[in-house]
Structures are given as structure tokens and as C-alpha cells.
Structure 1
Amino acid sequence: MSSSTPQTGWPVSMLSDAQWQEISKAVAPLNAAQLTWVSGYLAGLAQSQSGQLQPSMAAVPQSNAVLTILYGSQTGNARGVAEQYKAFAESAGVPVQLFNMADYKIKKLKDETHLVIVVSTHGEGEAPDDAVELHEFLASKKASSLSQLNYAVLGLGDSSYEFFCQTAKDFDQRLAALGAKRIAERLDCDVDYAGDVDAWSEKVTPLFKAELSQQGHEAQVVALPGIQVASVTKYDRKNPFEAQMLLSQKITGRDSVKDIRHIEISLEGSGLTYRPGDALGVWFKNAPTLVERLLSALSLDADSQVQIADESLSLAKALTEKLELTQSYPSFVKAYAEQTQNSQLLQLVEDKTALREYLATRQIIDIVNEYPKPVEAQQLVSMLRPLTPRLYSIASSQEEVEDEVHLTVALVEYDAFGFSHQGGASAYLANGLQEGESLSVFVESNDNFKLPQDPNTPVIMVGPGTGIAPFRAFMQQREAEDAAGKNWLFFGNPSFTQDFLYQVEWQRWVKEGLLTNISLAFSRDQAHKIYVQHRLAEQGEEVFEWLQQGAHFYVCGDANHMAKDVHDALLKLVAEHGKMDSAQAEEYVAALRKAKRYQRDVY
């Protein structure tokens, strides 16, 4: 009697349980195109009596022409889009190679003939960390002519920000200025980018395929009869895992100005794995009170049926589970102004600076309350952005917590316009779920924020506020591995007695010698404010010594202020204690980043 796999029920009597487990593990990371290729590879081995490779399916290049995809990603979205496009292009028979910009040898650019750039923008129009070197190179005098290059650029951004997709615009302009040929117009994607990316992929892929075919390349993809490859289920953004909330515990004091929660979530049964430095994506639901406020303000019936893509559902369900309500954005103001023909809003839309200032302090409900006018249910739905998941730096190591994942979440909460406002995901995690209830999650890997491979390497961790989260994971991992490398934490928050997050754990690591140094900056515990950048400056000589010894330098937290202040402090201490001028200090820090010894997880 033959046995079968629990996932598919297919007979696998010729394989032992151990062999099947090894095969399942090996194919789990592969995409559809790669699985197809592997099926051909294995069939070729089976058909060859000598055991040498004679694949009956292969993609055999007739020239060196290939489509190169380069991505720059701060949070993982651009990487995901790049990987998705690689699979799409390969399925269309286009030969593709994919690189993170940080791993790409810039000198190869002059030899490329076909290129796709997928890049995000963060902060005030800044390139993501892994794109900085290539971004700066293309703007420098070192960049040579690229007249042989055909390219397309896809940018990811958020139109709520002033410098929407600025990094993609920069790449597009600089490639064109160097003589490269734009094969398709740049696509600037907003936060709800899935449909736009699909349409763009279908448009540009035939163009690249035609170009490559003219250069003598035909990728042969031959289907193999009688060979079936098991579909591999992988939980991701589009297919999240229904996890279980285990704990939501406030870890700041009663008198703290912050409400920060330690969250524990069970991943049991998911097969999901993560490494310190990765993030957890959380699909959240808007608070019922917020949905009720919006329905009341617009005199809408919660049970009205609306359409979102191919799904028909009640308006209340759509507002709760499908649409973005806690972040405001220009596209809503524009649509609402045009629908209501409100003269003040129409005028505001024309002034981008004033509009950004207006949106900075308002949620959707505030705009509607200020300019009330009834709209139809479907009209409202069409004005609102799709809800997007929030990413949180993981605060645990699986070596320590196994089938759990821990987060450190600051509840966004403030009073404005006559009532209390809360953030969408933070309120959902802090107050919206009871222990034992389920939530939809996925793991977002971050290869640009990882512990050094050598456990003897010293690490310096700068993480004020909830920026401490990944460093708790780092320490759990180094403890589990019995890593010999020195560890130094710079942590800051308003008050020692109220806001020292995970204090007992950090004190234990100090006592046991795992944490070599800890430098604390509690801003409100003295007359003048002290922040982590001040502690860095004070300890500059020893910090530089650690860097000279090969230390890796990590920063996690606020991108707009803290990360910039820490970067400036790093440059100054390198210049002072390395006896360098400002240009040399810049080169030194740039070299750290290039060697992946200076890594940031900023938001």
C-alpha cells in the first residue's frame, strides 16, 4: 500500500519520509519558473543512463544578452516586486539575472544591454541604503556612457510625501543623461501598487523579449509530460498566515508619556522562519469606533453593498478590513474635493505644500468632519486607498522563542479635533485583539540588517525607543550561539524609571558579560535633553576603536530625525578620532556601508 504526502495525497512510495522531507525543504524557496526548470533538470537526469545531465527542458542562451534586474529596498517591498518581475519575465522566456544594488559590481554596468531598476524612496527623497552607492555613482563624473543600454525604471513610494518616488526619478534621469535608451516610461507606484506592477510587467516584458531575441537569444522552455511538481505553499503578503495572539503587555510605566507594548504571537504550524533583523508584516483591521464615526459623518448605511475589485461586501466590512482610514493622503482629498465640489478643498489641492501640512495632522474622519457632504457608499470606497500591512522589526530570535515571534509596538494615540485618535495597526495590536484571537501575518526578510557571519565580530547597536526591538533579537541570537564578539547598546527614551524597555533582560546580559557596554540617554531625566547621538559623541574614541577592530554599526528607529543625527555624530567621531577631514570621514563611513558594516533599519 503506497504512502502519500499530507499536502497533496500523491503517491511517494519510492521515497522515504526523510527523502521527501529533504525534497520539500529544497524546493520551498523556489518560484514557479524555478520549479519548472528543476523538473526538467531532474527529468534529464532520469533519462540519462550515465547519470550526466541531459535535461529535456532548459533555457539555453545563444548569446550573452540577458535582462538584469537591480533593486534597492529599505523595507523589502522593492525586493519583493523585483523577485515577482523576475519570475514573470522568466515565465515569458526572458533570460534574467537579479541583484541587490548593494551586491552588484558597478563596473559591470557598462557591459549591460538590458536593465530594469526597481527602487523605493524613503525619508526626504533619499535612496534606500542598499542603493546609495549606485545612486551616487550615476551622479558622479566616474559614470561613463551607457549608450548600449536599454532600460526601464519602476519606483515605489507614497504620494503622501513630498518627494514621491524621487529615487526612481533620479535613476531614470541619470541613465537617460548617460545615453541609455528608455524602453518604457517610468512607473511611479503608490502604496497600492499590485495592479500597476502587473500591468507594467505585461507591457514591458514583450519589449525586452523582442530586443533580446533580435540579439540571438531564444529561451526554450519545454514542458515535460508525466512530471508533476508539488505546489509549495509559502505564506507571504498575498497569502498571510492566520497566527494567534498570545500576549499584548504594556512595558512602559504608568506615568510614561509613551504606551509601548510587548507583543507575542504564535507561528505554530506555519513553518515560517525568520532571522534577527527581519520584520513581521501585520494585516490589521480598523477600529469599529472609527468606522462608525465615518459612517455617521457621511450618513451612510453600514449594510450597503459595495464592490472592491471582484468582491462584493458590506460597506462596514470594506471600511474595517479593506480600506485605509488612519493615514490620510492627497488622492483622497482630491477625489473628495471633486465629488463634493467644495471650493476650499479644491483650492487646497492646488497648493501641494499647504496640502501636506494639512494632512500631517488629520485622518480621513477629520477631513470629512471638517467638510461634511453626503456621498454614496461606492463613491466613498473608490476614493479610499486599499489597506496595506504594517511592518514591525522582529524583537526575538527563533533560537530563543521557537514557534513564536515578538514585537515591540508603540501605540499611536493623540487627541485632536475633539476626540481621541489612534494608529491603525498599533491600536489593533494593543487593544483590538484578545489573547487567543487570530491575526494575519507574514515574514518580510531583510538581508540588509543582519548580524555578522563571524560570531567573533563586535557589534554596536543604536536603537532608541522601539528601535530597540531588533537588538533584543540580536542579543538572544548571540547568546544562543555563544558568540564571543563584543556587544554595545546605545538606547534612549524619555525616562529611566518609566521607559527602560526590557530593562531586566539588558541588565542580565550586562551581568553575564554578553553585553559589553551599554550607553543610556534618558532625555527628560535632567534639565537639558540628552539623546543617543550625544552618547555616541561622548564615547567617540572607544566607538572608533571598535570600528577599527572591525565592528559592525547598526541603527534602528526614526528615519527623519534620529537616524540623521546619529549619522552626523558618526561622521564627526570618525573625523575627530581618526584624524580625518570631512571628505575622508565621508569615505570611511561609505566604505563601512559598502562592506555591510553600517546597516540601518529606519522608518
Structure 2
Amino acid sequence: MSSQILQQLSGPLSNDQVEIIRTAVGDLSVEQTQWLSGYLAGLAAARQGEAGTQGAAFGAREEVAEQPQITVLFGSQTGNASGVASALYGQLEADGFQVKLEDMADYNPRNLKKEQYIALVVSTQGEGDPPDDALAFHEFLFSRKAPKLENLKFSVMGLGDSSYEQFCQTAKEFDERLAELGGERTHSRIDADVDYSGEQKQWIEQWQSVAEQLQKTVARPKLSVVGGADVAQPQWSKFQPFTAEVINSICITGRGSGKNIQHVEISLEESGLHYQPGDALGVWPQNNTDLVDEVLQLTALDGDANVQVDDAETTLRDALTNQRELTQVSKKFLEQLATDNEQLQQLLEGDRKDLIAFMQNTQVVELLALVSRDWQPQQLVDQLPGITPRLYSIASSTDAVDEEVHLTVGLVADERDGQVRFGAASRFLADISEGDSVRVFVEHNRHFKLPENGDTPIIMVGPGTGVAPFRSFMQQRDANGDSGDNWLLFGNPHFHTDFLYQTDWQGWHKSGLLTRIDLAFSRDQKDKIYVQDRMAENAADLYQWLQNGAHFYVCGDQKNMAKAVDETLHQIVAEQSGQGDDYAADYLKQLKRDGRYQRDVY
């Protein structure tokens, strides 16, 4: 269809030019095509000549002074900060303002001294650490190389999780440092929790106001392409998810396993959604019916009562099922209940670590059981945070499964006071059956990707469900016919019950695609063995692979596993190189800068 439209609208283009464009845009996604459309419109606006084509119309130009450019700069680990930045960029771009979008991983920080306006959004990882994409930028900004920024105006938005002690720490550091270097805030920093839709809207509106002050009259042409009804494609995204059908859901842990891990297959047919190995699938969960009933019972409320959510009317039951978070506790909700409970008040005023531990191990129903209160339906809905999607590393390649996407989902379950409490999304996905529907979107992660050169060796460390993206890596390398060596380090409690995708790995190893596999089943012997132990046992080989240009990947738990793997890798480099800790630290930093040390951790 795009080729037909291009032929119809070719206008002043030569046949050679048409062919070049057709080749260039042939495999672009809908999102990329829309971005390119905006870029071309901006390019046309910058040129003084008249521009017009058959079937495409440009708005008239008004002569105005050149508008300062706004740079939207983001540092993202899971894609949330990238999404916020893209939303701001898209809105300002659509409004006709001069704006560019920059990933901190690709941005040259020496250009800071040339910037006039920066809108910076960044997430915080673990115990207050910058996301991997922002490490180099963070290091530069806090070094002696950082320039004076007296001409810079900026504002910062932080994304984080208030259940962690260092909430939005990276954003706080960037905000303070930019001001120290002479920058002037356009607005105060915004710190956003897990449900950040309100803060995102506020931040965008603030920057729209800044942009409007910079240029009252926009001299930007509006481009509209005249074509059939099928020219416009739906843009599925986090806040406009695609309703997909579940094809299959099976448990892939054996009988007697202490883990319930599901392999879920979802159809993306007719969605237009595309993904690559390393990307994640966002899933909007529904709260379990039993959990919703328990909330209604504890509050003595009627599930059929009408309530307002985001200016739309619905029932209380629907709001609790689809739109409100019930398995995670917000600090705001705690503060509201603490007015009627001395224990909660002491908790809020006491050691923050105790508060965080309480929030991470308590659900809404447990608080409702603790604090007796006369609730009104709207009051309850207003106090609970909005439900948020969960991201799952994709365990498939489209070259192997066509218009499907596969997930590896571990059921989150914790028994407290004789009652098992489940994670919202993991239980939702564990309970779904063939033919059920699930709302999804693709979260692209261009910093967790296979090497462009298929001859490059890779080392994959993925215990438990962290093995998911490496299944997609192998499917892709198999489909490509890549010749690069592949080494997997996988761990779980027991060989007989917890060897996820065992037949896949054995098949790839037999065929020679999987060059090497080292397993760490922690409870199959007296002394526990983990993936970092296997790394240490094979230190010489691992270092030699790195010296031969291997890319090193880690996926899984950030707090314990990923930290231990990083420390072990540091030790291996220090010892095998014979040059000590300082050399190892610089070595790993360079691996990250070169995109050869990539992590997908949570």
C-alpha cells in the first residue's frame, strides 16, 4: 500500500528518487514512519523554498524569528522514561515547536554547553543508581569536565518506586547538579511513582507553556497525505494497548517444583505490532475476582455502585478489577489510613527501611483488615493508585513464531498469616486460558540487543525466568544462520523440575548453535551453587571470550543476582588480566560504553 501511495503522490520526484524512498521506508514500523513524517515536515519548515506535491498539502509559512530548540533528554532502563520523553517530544513536535529527542546513552555530554533548553527525564534503579543508559552521562556531569551552564534552562522529571529508600535519587542528583553548574529551572523537579500518568501530563503541560512563551506564532507547515482509509494505522502503545488473544499457556516447571512458571503464547495477528529479541511486552493485568470480593467485603461496599475514574463513569467492581492497584501499597494510601491507626503512624515516622519492608510485603486488603473505617465507593477509588502494566522480557523471535509473542512468567506468591498473596500480573497470566484476552503493547529496548555482526560471540547469564530473552536470541541467531559462538549460564533450584526450555537448549547444543552451556542448580547438592559460581569456576575461559570480543548479557533479579554477577565479573577481569581492581573497573565501564555489557534487570 505504501508503494502505491508513493507512486500516486510522486509529483516532482524522479523515478530514481521514488525508488530510493521506497527502498528506505520499506521495512519501517508505523512508529518509525510517523517519526519520519514529522522529521520531513520539520525539514520542509526549515527551508525557505515553496514545497508542494500532488496529493499532499503544506500549510502557509509565516516569517518569524528562529525559535530556540528544546532538547528532550532521557535515561531509561525498562522503557518508562523513554516513553515519557517520546510523549513530550511528540506533543511539542505536533504543536510545531523546535524539539529533538536524545537518549543519554547516545548523547555527547560535551554538547551541554550549547543547549538552551533541556527537558530531562530519568529513572532510578535499585538503591539509587542511574539506569545503565545514563551511567556515562552521569559520570561526565559529576566530573571536572562538566561545563558551566549559565545559558541553560531546564526541568527534571524522575521516575521511581516509593517503596525503595532512594526514591528518584538519580533525578534529584541531575536536578541539583545542573543547577550547580549554572542552569536555571523552568519548573521544580517532578518525582513520579509507579503510576506516573498524572505527573507525565503535568510535565508535558509545563513544557508546552515554556514552548508557547518561546514562540507565539508557529511557522511550521502541516503535512497531510491524501490516500485511502487504510493509510492511517492504529498506534498501539502503553496507554492504548492492543487486545490480544491467548493462544496457549502451559506450566513449564515439573511436579514437585517450588516454582510455578508459565510459558504463555499470545497472538499479535492484525495488530501491526513488531518486536525484536531483547524487547519487552507490556501487560495490563486484571485483579483476581477473589481479591476484589475480599476488598468489597472488608469495606462493606456494593460492587455495582457507580464511581468516576478519569472522568468516566464505571462500577466500583470494574474499577477495582481493571483500574486500581490492589497488590501494591502506596505511601499515599498508608498516610490516609494512618490517621486512624497509631501503628501505621509510628511506622511512617520511624526507620524508613522498616517502612519500605512493610510496603513491599503488604497488600491493600491487609491494610483494610488492619484499619476499620466507613468507606464510600468514590473515596476508596480516589485513595487507591491506578493500576500499572508489568513488563516481561520476550522469549521468542518473530522469525521463529511469526505473529506470536511468547512470555516466561513466574507466579509471585507469598504466604502470610495462613493466606497466600499473589502478584497481580503473574496471577492474571497464570490463570488465563486459550482464547482469553489480554491487553498488551511492545516496549522496545534498543540497549539489550544482539550484536549487529552475527559472527560476534555472546555470553548469556539468565537464571530462572531471566532465561527468557536468551531463548529469543537463540531463535534469531538460528534463523539468521549466524556463526558467532553462544554461551549460556543458567541456574534454578533443581535440574529435574526447574530446567526451563530444556529441550530447546539441548537441541541447540546438539546442533552446535549453542557452543557452551553451564548449569547451576542451587539445591541439587549440599552447597548451593549459583551462576556467579559457575562464572568464577570458568574465569579463564570467560575472560578469553571477552578478549575475543564477546558481548556479555545479564537478565533477571537486580538486587541480588545481577549485583553478584557484576562483582564476580569485576573480580575475574582483575585477576585474569593481572592488573587489579582499577583496571577491572575501567574495563567494565568500557564494555558498557561499547554496548558489550548489557543488562535487562528488575
Q: TM-score, normalised by structure 2?
A: 0.91
Partner of 2:30: 28
- Counterpart-to-counterpart distance in 2, 1:520 and 1:225: 56
1:121 aligns to 2:120 (yes or no): no
| Cα deviation, residue 209, structure 1 | 5.1
Q: Helix, strand or coil: the match of 2:489?
A: strand
| Cα deviation, residue 84, structure 1 | 0.8
Match of 1:199 among 174, 198, 202: 202
Asked whether the 8 Å contact 1:122–1:128 carries over to 2, the reply is yes
Cα distance change of structure 1 residues 183 and 47 upon mapping to structure 2, 3 Å threshold: closer
Q: What amino acid maps onto 1:588 in structure 2? A: Y
- Counterpart-to-counterpart distance in 1, 2:468 and 2:327: 24
- Counterpart-to-counterpart distance in 1, 2:5 and 2:460: 51
Partner of 1:251: 252
Q: How does 1:286-305 map to 2 (within 5 A)?
A: 286-305=287-306
| Cα deviation, residue 437, structure 1 | 1.2
Q: What amino acid maps onto 1:463 in structure 2? A: G
Q: What amino acid maps onto 1:360 in structure 2? A: Q
Partner of 2:13: none
Partner of 1:480: 479
How big is each residue's C-alpha offset from its partner over 1:13-41, in whole Å with a ceiling of 9 and x where there is no partner?
9479x999998975822587864664697
| Cα deviation, residue 199, structure 1 | 2.1
Partner of 1:265: 266
How big is each residue's C-alpha offset from its partner over 1:372-418, in whole Å with a ceiling of 9 and x where there is no partner?
33311111111101111111000000000001110000011222123
Q: Helix, strand or coil: the match of 1:560?
A: helix
- Counterpart-to-counterpart distance in 2, 1:598 and 1:291: 43
| Cα deviation, residue 204, structure 1 | 2.8
Q: How does 1:122-141 map to 2 (within 5 A)?
A: 122-141=125-144
- Counterpart-to-counterpart distance in 1, 2:393 and 2:192: 24
Asked whether the 8 Å contact 2:159–2:193 carries over to 1, the reply is yes
| Cα deviation, residue 360, structure 1 | 2.4
Asked whether the 8 Å contact 1:40–1:56 carries over to 2, the reply is no
- Counterpart-to-counterpart distance in 2, 1:259 and 1:165: 33
Q: Helix, strand or coil: the match of 1:530?
A: coil
- Counterpart-to-counterpart distance in 1, 2:421 and 2:309: 26
- Counterpart-to-counterpart distance in 2, 1:162 and 1:147: 33
- Counterpart-to-counterpart distance in 1, 2:136 and 2:62: 33
Asked whether the 8 Å contact 1:40–1:58 carries over to 2, the reply is no
Q: How does 1:93-112 map to 2 (within 5 A)?
A: 93-112=96-115
| Cα deviation, residue 357, structure 1 | 2.2
1:146 aligns to 2:149 (yes or no): yes
Cα distance change of structure 1 residues 73 and 27 upon mapping to structure 2, 3 Å threshold: closer
- Counterpart-to-counterpart distance in 1, 2:62 and 2:506: 57
Asked whether the 8 Å contact 1:150–1:181 carries over to 2, the reply is yes
Asked whether the 8 Å contact 2:38–2:93 carries over to 1, the reply is no
- Counterpart-to-counterpart distance in 2, 1:368 and 1:239: 32
Partner of 2:393: 393
- Counterpart-to-counterpart distance in 2, 1:162 and 1:67: 32
Cα distance change of structure 1 residues 225 and 277 upon mapping to structure 2, 3 Å threshold: closer
- Counterpart-to-counterpart distance in 2, 1:392 and 1:281: 6
| Cα deviation, residue 239, structure 1 | 1.4
Q: TM-score, normalised by structure 1?
A: 0.90
- Counterpart-to-counterpart distance in 2, 1:336 and 1:348: 12
Q: How does 1:223-372 map to 2 (within 5 A)?
A: 223=222, 230-338=231-339, 341-351=340-350, 352-372=352-372
Partner of 1:74: 77
| Cα deviation, residue 343, structure 1 | 2.5
Asked whether the 8 Å contact 2:5–2:227 carries over to 1, the reply is no
Q: How does 1:493-572 map to 2 (within 5 A)?
A: 493-572=492-571
Worse-superposed segment, 32-41 or 162-171 = 32-41
Asked whether the 8 Å contact 2:44–2:221 carries over to 1, the reply is no
Cα distance change of structure 1 residues 327 and 517 upon mapping to structure 2, 3 Å threshold: same
- Counterpart-to-counterpart distance in 1, 2:64 and 2:505: 55
Asked whether the 8 Å contact 2:41–2:222 carries over to 1, the reply is no
| Cα deviation, residue 142, structure 1 | 2.4
1:489 aligns to 2:488 (yes or no): yes
Q: How does 1:369-380 map to 2 (within 5 A)?
A: 369-380=369-380
Worse-superposed segment, 232-241 or 405-414 = 232-241
Q: What amino acid maps onto 2:288 in structure 1? A: A
Asked whether the 8 Å contact 1:40–1:57 carries over to 2, the reply is no
Asked whether the 8 Å contact 2:58–2:222 carries over to 1, the reply is no
Partner of 2:419: 419
Cα distance change of structure 1 residues 382 and 224 upon mapping to structure 2, 3 Å threshold: closer
Asked whether the 8 Å contact 1:45–1:54 carries over to 2, the reply is no
How big is each residue's C-alpha offset from its partner over 1:198-242, in whole Å with a ceiling of 9 and x where there is no partner?
22222233325545x5xxx98511346996795431111111111
Asked whether the 8 Å contact 1:62–1:218 carries over to 2, the reply is no
Q: What amino acid maps onto 1:168 in structure 2? A: A
Cα distance change of structure 1 residues 42 and 182 upon mapping to structure 2, 3 Å threshold: closer
**Coordinate RMSD, CA, aligned:** 3.1
Match of 2:93 among 90, 95, 119: 90
| Cα deviation, residue 286, structure 1 | 0.5
- Counterpart-to-counterpart distance in 2, 1:59 and 1:35: 21
Q: Helix, strand or coil: the match of 2:519?
A: strand
Partner of 2:221: 222
Following superposition, which runs of at least 4 residues in structure 1 exceed 3 angstroms of deviation?
A: 10-16, 18-27, 30-51, 53-65, 208-211, 222-232
- Counterpart-to-counterpart distance in 2, 1:526 and 1:26: 51
- Counterpart-to-counterpart distance in 2, 1:240 and 1:560: 30
- Counterpart-to-counterpart distance in 2, 1:121 and 1:545: 33
Partner of 1:430: 430
Asked whether the 8 Å contact 2:29–2:274 carries over to 1, the reply is no
How big is each residue's C-alpha offset from its partner over 1:448-488, in whole Å with a ceiling of 9 and x where there is no partner?
10000000000000000000000000000000001000000
Asked whether the 8 Å contact 1:41–1:56 carries over to 2, the reply is no
| Cα deviation, residue 80, structure 1 | 0.8
Q: Helix, strand or coil: the match of 1:79?
A: helix
Worse-superposed segment, 222-231 or 39-48 = 39-48
1:573 aligns to 2:576 (yes or no): no
- Counterpart-to-counterpart distance in 1, 2:247 and 2:227: 39
Q: Percent identity?
A: 45
Cα distance change of structure 1 residues 390 and 170 upon mapping to structure 2, 3 Å threshold: same
| Cα deviation, residue 327, structure 1 | 1.3
1:177 aligns to 2:164 (yes or no): no
Asked whether the 8 Å contact 1:324–1:386 carries over to 2, the reply is yes
Asked whether the 8 Å contact 2:117–2:153 carries over to 1, the reply is yes
Partner of 1:455: 454
| Cα deviation, residue 55, structure 1 | 6.8
| Cα deviation, residue 271, structure 1 | 1.6
How big is each residue's C-alpha offset from its partner over 1:72-113, in whole Å with a ceiling of 9 and x where there is no partner?
001101001101111222233321121110111122122222
Cα distance change of structure 1 residues 69 and 37 upon mapping to structure 2, 3 Å threshold: closer
Worse-superposed segment, 202-211 or 498-507 = 202-211
Q: Helix, strand or coil: the match of 2:73?
A: strand
Worse-superposed segment, 83-92 or 532-541 = 83-92
Cα distance change of structure 1 residues 194 and 537 upon mapping to structure 2, 3 Å threshold: same
Asked whether the 8 Å contact 1:60–1:219 carries over to 2, the reply is no
